[in-house]
């Protein structure tokens, strides 16, 4: 059961089209899996559409003189039949594991996988300067060393599960963290995550601190 969701402010910014493509895609993918947020997005979208319609109606009321016959003729004049486009599933493979990609990723270019230990990461090519967007696979029994964040970090679980000292995360969970958070994700059975970060990780424990120069590799 999904327990972690985008904040209302993030959903509102998503509906208003104010987020970068990386975060917008994360919310869209979460909504595919979360009826609660899907409903909230639909409600906000309807409210914005209603306000927009009312404004347009008031702006055009004084000058709108529609020719009904011309409108009907334009609608019935075309013999074109528009059929819905069939959805074709797209896949990604990490370490012989095949995953179905969410619809929001179908039009995005996923780079070649890079591996370090039980972690595999492919960059998603969005060209958002300091914001890095990736698919991250943690193989069974793998983990990301304990770390905090120099900027923000979004992790959306697409498949599988992982846990840290705050609890268990499952498919669909939307986890937004910043420099005030420290965690050590561990995946017993393996997982695939969609991640967005605007700065490198900062490892905080023991010998893992030596990995800080490559903290940008993972996210």
The model's pLDDT over 59-111, given as tens digits with 9 standing for 90+, comes to: 554 444 445 556 556 556 656 665 555 668 899 999 999 999 999 999 999 99
Does the domain at 91-218 match CATH 2.60.120.10? Answer given as: yes
Q: Whose structure tokens read 């697409």?
A: 158
Is the pTM value of this prediction over 0.85?
A: no
Using 50 as the pLDDT threshold, list the residues of the chain that sit under it: 61-66, 206-210, 212, 214-215
Tokens of 138: 């943690």
Q: Tell me how far apart the alpha carbons of residues 88 and 101 are, in angstroms, rounded to a whole number.
A: 10
Query: Could you tell me the residue ranges of all domains in the chain?
Result: 8-76, 91-218
């Amino acid at each position: 059961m999904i327990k972690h969701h985008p904040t209302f402010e993030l959903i509102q910014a998503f509906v208003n089209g104010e987020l970068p493509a990386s975060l917008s895609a994360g919310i869209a993918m979460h909504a595919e899996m979360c009826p609660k947020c899907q409903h909230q997005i639909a409600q906000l979208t309807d409210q914005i559409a209603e306000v927009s319609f009312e404004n347009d109606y008031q702006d055009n009321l004084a000058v709108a003189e529609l020719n009904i016959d011309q409108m009907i003729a334009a609608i019935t004049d075309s013999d074109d039949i528009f059929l819905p486009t069939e959805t074709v599933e797209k896949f990604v493979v990490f370490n012989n594991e095949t995953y179905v990609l969410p619809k929001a990723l179908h039009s995005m270019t996923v780079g070649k996988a890079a591996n370090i230990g039980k972690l595999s990461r492919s960059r998603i090519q969005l060209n958002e300067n300091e914001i890095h967007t990736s698919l991250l696979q943690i193989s069974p029994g793998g983990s990301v060393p304990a770390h905090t964040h120099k900027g923000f970090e979004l992790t959306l679980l697409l498949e599988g599960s992982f846990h840290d000292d705050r609890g268990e995360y499952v498919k669909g969970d939307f986890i937004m963290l910043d420099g005030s958070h420290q965690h050590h994700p561990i995946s017993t059975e393996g997982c695939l995550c969609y991640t967005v970060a605007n700065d490198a990780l900062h490892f905080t424990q023991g010998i893992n601190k030596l990995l800080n120069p490559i903290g940008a590799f993972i996210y």
